[in-house]
Structure 1
Amino acid sequence: MITVIVTMKLNKAITREEGKKIFLSTAPRYKTIEGLVRKYYILSEDGISSGGVYLWTTKAAAEAWYTDSWHEFIKETYNTTPSITYWESPVIVDNILGCTTSDDQEL
């Protein structure tokens, strides 16, 4: 599995409530993406940085999502350019489900 961390510095700070409103408005677009397991929206305490943490089944699935049109959507929504970092995620502990998963198991 692959974890992708997307970060972006905002042009002006936003409050938690402003961030939540934006995040809830964009959340539906992430519900049916092939290979996306989970997405966390993130906002810094000072409200000047935002982003997302994504868990993907494969790097290919992740790379297929971060297209030019996705970058344009981010630019239009947040008026900034994102930074994208890929991380291997060989083991995941899920305390809600009470399990540990490794990347050689099917989800």
Structure 2
Amino acid sequence: MLKAIVISGKGMINLKDIPALETKSGQVIFSPKYIGICGSDLHYLADGSVGQSVIREPFIPGHEISGVLDETVIVNGETIPAGTNITVHPATFGDKQDLLAERPEIWPNGRY
């Protein structure tokens, strides 16, 4: 079990036990070293929302994160050794748009 801070609604924050996740294809295991609490996290806690985005389910804040790889990985044919310092881009790109090929951060249906 791991410990995590969880925001579940306006003014609702708790320290909870959560199960360790299993890695899936394309994912890596790393040890977090620095985690930033973003202004959006603070708004979710204080207001229950940020703009039109409203908390619909509990979440763990701290998407601004860096750490150290726990395992050697191969990305696009390049070996990245365990112990390498990393930062995390906390998004999955959405549906590829050929006219926006160089701007995957704005493809429809992406998520943070």
TM-score range, shorter chain: under 0.3
* Structure with greater helix percent: 1
* TM-score, normalised relative to structure 1: 0.26
Larger Rg: 2
